[in-house]
Amino acid sequence: MTQCCFLRVHPLFFWFWSFHRRMALALCLQALCSLGGWLSLYISFCRLNNHRSYEWSCRLVTFTHGVLSIGLSAYIGFIDGPWPFTHPGSPNTPLQVHVLCLTLGYFIFDLGWCIYFQSEGALMLAHHTLSILGIIMALVLGESGTEVNAVLFGSEITNPLLQMRWFLRETGHYHSFTGDVVDFLFAALFTGVRIGVGAHLLFCEMVSPKPKWFVKVGGVAMYAVSWCFMFSIWRFAWRKSSKKYHTWRSRRSEERQLKHNGHLKTH
């Protein structure tokens, strides 16, 4: 009797096992294709900009991924749905899976580049590692792609500005009005979106019964990394503002002194 039940259950179990294996292979193939695509784009940029550094080409890839991921994740969150603040832990949609695989390939490429060239510190490496683990977790579970996509949007919305800031510095145009505008927009967006909106998203994630507990732990870890970045940004903004204020006061004092001396000379 037991053997008979086993024979009846076994084909169904085998079908599920085969189905999940095919799904896993399809996801791995998408991620590998994404990795190959970003690597090919990087090589193309290196050949087109052979007079520039390797970091220049890598930053171009990062800028391209930032713009692309912002557009795709915004479409998913605001148009295609579901809304991450009300439906965390929802099953992944096909479009979410494609975007997550696309981004997974990029983060693997960028993490490998950063480790090879030793261009980033421990905080950025931790951010990339958490991003890779979070995306893999959502793909394996088949759920929570909604909030992971929202985190992707919030993380990447400041990325193009960060790359523009680097390119301005490399070309000698950073200490200008354009550089000040880029810095202001970067700090404002980071504070408002990654810290402000991110706190609300994390709260919705924590109070919802749908997401797995380890998904919530991952959300807390990513938000903690955002705060570490935020402290660095605030320190930089304070130093830059103080320097500009002291420069303005010094210039104003010199103008007053020149005006006063000129007034004395007329007498």
Q: Which region holds residue 206: left if phi is over 0, alpha if psi is between -120 and 50, else beta?
A: alpha
Cβ atoms of 149 and 77 within 8 Å: the answer is: yes
Asked if 68 contacts 75 with a C-beta cutoff of 8 angstroms, the reply is no
257 pLDDT more than 80:
no
| 266 has pLDDT over 50 | no
Every domain of the chain and the residues it spans: 26-259
State both tokens at 167. Answer: 């390119």
Neighbouring residues of 85: CB distance < 8 A, sequence distance ≥ 6: 200, 201, 204
Which tens digit of pLDDT belongs to each residue from 120-159?
889 999 999 999 999 999 999 999 999 999 999 999 999 9
- The chain-wide mean pLDDT, for the chain, equals 86
Percent of the chain with pLDDT over 70: 84
Residue 68 CA to residue 94 CA, distance in Å, equals 17
Query: Torsion over CA of 133, 139, 144 and 146, rounded to 10 degrees?
Result: 100
Q: What is the pLDDT of residue 20?
A: 61
Please say whether the beta carbons of 175 and 247 come within 8 A. Answer: no
What is the distance between the alpha carbons of residues 124 and 114, in angstroms, rounded to a whole number?
9
Question: CA angle, corner 260, sides to 259 and 261, nearest 5?
Answer: 95
In angstroms, the CA 58 to CA 61 distance is: 5
Band of residue 216 on the pLDDT scale cut at 50, 70, 90: very high
The single-letter code of the amino acid at 63 is F
CB distance 111 to 137 below 8 Å: no
Q: Is the peptide bond before 84 cis (omega within 30 degrees of 0)?
A: no
* 232 close to 126: Cβ distance less than 8 angstroms: no
Compute the distance between CA of residue 108 and CA of residue 133 in angstroms, rounded to an integer. Answer: 10
Type of residue numbered 168: L
The model's pLDDT over 15-56, given as tens digits with 9 standing for 90+, comes to: 445 556 777 888 889 999 999 999 999 999 999 999 999 999
State how far the alpha carbon of 182 is from the alpha carbons of 162, 163, 185, 231, in Å: 8, 10, 5, 18
Global pTM value: 0.83
